[in-house]
Structure 1
Amino acid sequence: MNAPPISLAQAVGRKPLEIRDIVARLDYDPDFNWAWENYKRTIVEIAQQRGLTRHLEIGGGRDPLFLPPEVAAHGFEVTLNDISAHELSRAPQGYSTVQCDIAGKDAKAILGAGRYDIAYSRMVMEHVPDVARMWENIAYALAPGGVAFSFFPTLYAPPYVLNRLIPEKISRWMLETVFPDRKEDGDNPKFPAYYDYCFSEEAKIVPMLKRAGFSDVVALPFWGYSYFWKFPGVKQIDAAFTRIARERQWRAVSSFAYIIATK
């Protein structure tokens, strides 16, 4: 049985674990498979250790991270956010929803001040053209001591550099040819990507987060992806390069990142 989260008052009453300590307890591994397999687990652990019950999932319209039985089991209150009313309409019943552009000028008024304890997104940030405003809006919507968590692909991993350089129409055709589920009517459609502030290098992202209103930032890099697995020769060369980059911690060519920021 899942332990219920402590209350925010209890968390304030005793010194909460640092985010770095929580992640260390989860046995962080820089391989990209760990990032995908432990995203939900990391959020649950942070929420339980810090008493974060009021959740905002950004871009969670069609595929919420927590299903209603999980929400109830953990004692969370989850609100789904999406820019698209259509995407929100595809979510299961039982959630509060809020439609807005998370980087929009009106997002603060729509989200409200201090309404949430934790906000998180997966594979959303790369599609936001103004990431600095996104983080500023999230900070506004978080209560003091709240946590923002973003999981996203990072530059300058080769697949994302190609996606950034190739015209959208061509890159869409290429991706949908190799991965049919990425078609517009599929389970994982492709959206335009901008990669604004999509880095795992702390020097490139922490100053912006500080300006947005966050006091502590943890940036966890990951290496690896599956984009070249269907291309013999390229797959082996890319895998060898990725292995070296991971061993030497070359963040400039990481593939994904967790950014976890505390207000």
Structure 2
Amino acid sequence: MPTITYSAWEQFPGWSGAPDWIAALVRRHAARHVLEIGAGANPTLPLDRLADLGIAQYTTNDVSADELAKAPPGYETLCADFTDPALVLARQYDFICSRMVNEHVRDGETYFRNIYRALTPGGVTAHAFSTLYALPFLANRLMPEAVSSALLNLFAPRDRHQHDKFRAYYSWSRGPTVRQIRRFERLGFEVLEYRGFFGHRYYEHRLAPLHRAELAKERWLLRHPIPQLTAYATVVLRRPR
């Protein structure tokens, strides 16, 4: 049975905590050949940490050659679409990870099927992502792209050259529901751990009353977890030997 836990959104490792989260998993599973899906211009682990972690090869992947061209020099690069049913890679990896990518995947089943094939037997894959049914992400899924992009500029502005906004689909981007665990298991994965995170900060600076209500909801959900209402999640899967 997988380990299922819940935390507040502040503990979600998809942002500044991602390097330490990925590094800890690499150490735990003694990974040597690492692929980061969708990293493009922003690989999570800096080059100066790779040797200390025992990583022999760190590959950054993206579907866009333009995004890969923005990556710092020194990384292996792989231009490939993991939602392509005909995808064939020249090699396998013992650790595959992503952060803030899965919500942008149109076809989650094909995506994870290709990840399974790209893993060595016994290899591990780990992902940090936003989940569909938090209100801002549900709105992002339903609104026209131009509207959601304008709202992002209002509530969470950022450097669009280095951290662009991409269309979100939320296929298979869910909290640790029974249905989602069974989906992974049907593909052959062993679900090692699944962690859901409640709450978000999108209302904090511009909609203070809604932010207070969101904090109250977050506290209630931490006492009475409903996996369908997470805002973020992490999942760690293994391809059995």
> Aligned letter for 2:216?
A
User: Is it true that 1:241 corresponds to 2:217 in the alignment?
Assistant: yes
Deviations 1:92-140 (A, max 9, x none): 1111111011111232x1x235x20010000100101001111110110
TM-score normalised per structure 1: 0.83
Q: 2:35 maps to what in 1?
A: 56
Give the alignment's Cα RMSD to 1 decimal: 2.0
Instruction: Give the number of the structure with larger relative contact order, counting CA–CA contacts within 8 Å between residues 6 or more apart.
Output: 2
Q: Is the 1:56–1:119 contact (alpha carbons within 8 Å) kept by the matching residues of 2?
A: yes
Find the residue that maps to 2:113 and give its secondary structure: helix
Specify the alignment match of 1:210 in structure 2. Answer: 185
Aligned match for 1:121, one of 98, 101, 107: 98
What TM-score do the two structures reach when normalised by structure 2? 0.90
Partners in 2 of 1:60 and 1:136 — Cα distance? 19
Residues 146-204 of structure 1 show CA distances to partners (whole Å, capped at 9, x for unaligned) of: 0011111112111111111222111111111233316x43x422111001111113312
Which residue is equivalent to 1:91? 71
Distance (Å, rounded) in 2 between the aligned partners of 1:67 and 1:175: 27
SS in 2 for 1:180: coil
Query: Is 1:175 aligned with 2:155?
Result: no
CA distance in 1, matches of 2:31, 2:208: 46
Matched, 1:41 2:20: yes
Corresponding residue of 1:255: 231
Using a 3 Å threshold, how does the CA distance of structure 1 residues 180 and 44 change in structure 2: closer, same or farther? closer
Aligned equivalents of 2:24 and 2:227: distance in 1? 25
| Map of 1:145 onto structure 2 | 122
Deviates most, 191-200 or 71-80: 71-80
Distance 2:181 2:223 in 1: 23
Equivalent position of 2:175 in the other structure: 200
- State the 1:29 CA deviation: 6.6
Deviation at 1:216, TM superposition (A): 3.1
Q: Among 158, 164, 168, which residue is 2:135 paired with?
A: 158
Contact in 2 for aligned 1:19/1:46 (Cα 8 Å): no
Judging by fraction of residues, say which structure has more strand.
2
Which runs of 5 or more residues in structure 1 are unaligned?
A: 1-17
Q: Distance in 2 between matches of 1:29 and 1:197?
A: 18
Q: Which runs of 5+ in 2 are unaligned?
A: none
Distance 2:180 2:64 in 1: 27
Mean Cα deviation higher: 195-204 or 86-95: 195-204
Alpha-carbon deviations, 1:191-250, whole Å to 9, x = none? 110011111133121222122221234211111211111212111111111221122112
